[in-house]
Amino acid sequence: MAGRFAESFSAGNLSNVVGRAVPGGVENRPGGRSEHACSRVAFASVVPVFNEAGTLEYYLSRLYEVTRARCPVVVVDGGSTDASASIARRYFHAETTVQPSRGEQLNHGALCLVTDVLLFLHADTELPRGFDHYIRQALADEEVAGGCFRLEFDVAHPLLKLYSRFTRYSGRFFHFGDQGFFIRRELFWRMGGFSHIPFLEDVDFLKRLKKFGKFVTLSVPVRTSARRFLDRGIVRQQLRNVLLVTLFELGVSAKRLAAAYPHIR
């Protein structure tokens, strides 16, 4: 597999992508990291995609510019019927799963990586420049298990700006996968990765992650597409998000919720 990655990553990044990780026990690299070597923490990102050819070229080209020489990226396609997989291969190493389950796609991508930190990013979310610096600063605190970025949208709408302001605070309704979750790799496998559920994998993941340590929100935002809010209505979409998370927290299974809201992924 190392040969396949060589087409996408520089030689400096290849040391962070060595075959497949072993959940619960990935081999250690020579020369372990000291507590004062935070600047040498290695990152890798996993991006799940499914039938996003219309916008994927733009977002992956932006991601390539921000991450090159800083962070290897694995794109995991969920069996798209459009050109998503071929577009992904133009920029990064691409894997494919048999079905479009975002949690399974993220786990699959994580298995390809043996970096210190894993960063999970939605395909329509843009990282800020210097993203790795902010993550390193946060993880210098050994009590921090993981975190995410603040959120801003690519459309200047008052309601979206208001929602964005709330993402700097902790809370069940303010942190979702489009904010770019990051986590120490060893902890990711210790907690079992993402659950095998149809959706709301980010809500479930965050709930479990917080049991292992502090979860921080970085001071800088990622920029994400507002297309779902604009297509479905900003207020309607936000109310639906609140309803889904509330029902999930009350014990309604993700499978039942997915059946009731089949167009949400």
As a whole number of angstroms, the distance between CA 12 and CA 120 comes to 21
The domain covering 2-21+39-260 belongs, at the CATH homologous superfamily level, to Spore Coat Polysaccharide Biosynthesis Protein SpsA; Chain A (3.90.550.10)
Q: Look at residue 234 in the predicted model and tell me its pLDDT.
A: 92
Q: Look at residue 35 in the predicted model and tell me its pLDDT.
A: 44
Q: Which residues contact 86 (CB under 8 A, 6 or more apart)?
A: none
**Are β-strands 93-96 and 73-77 bridged in parallel, bridged antiparallel, or unpaired?**
parallel
128-141 pLDDT, tens digit per residue, is 999 999 999 999 99
Domain definitions of the chain by residue range: 2-21+39-260
Ramachandran bin of 13, using left for φ above 0, alpha for ψ from -120 to 50, beta for the remaining angles: alpha
Q: Which residues contact 93 (CB under 8 A, 6 or more apart)?
A: 4, 5, 7, 8, 9, 17, 72, 73, 74, 75, 112
**Which residue ranges in the chain fall short of pLDDT 70?**
1-39, 171, 261-265
**For the whole model, what pTM was predicted?**
0.84
What Rg value do the Cα atoms of the chain yield, rounded?
A: 18
The DSSP element (H or E) to which 242 belongs, if any, is: helix 234-249
- According to DSSP, the residues that pair with 96 across neighbouring strands are 77
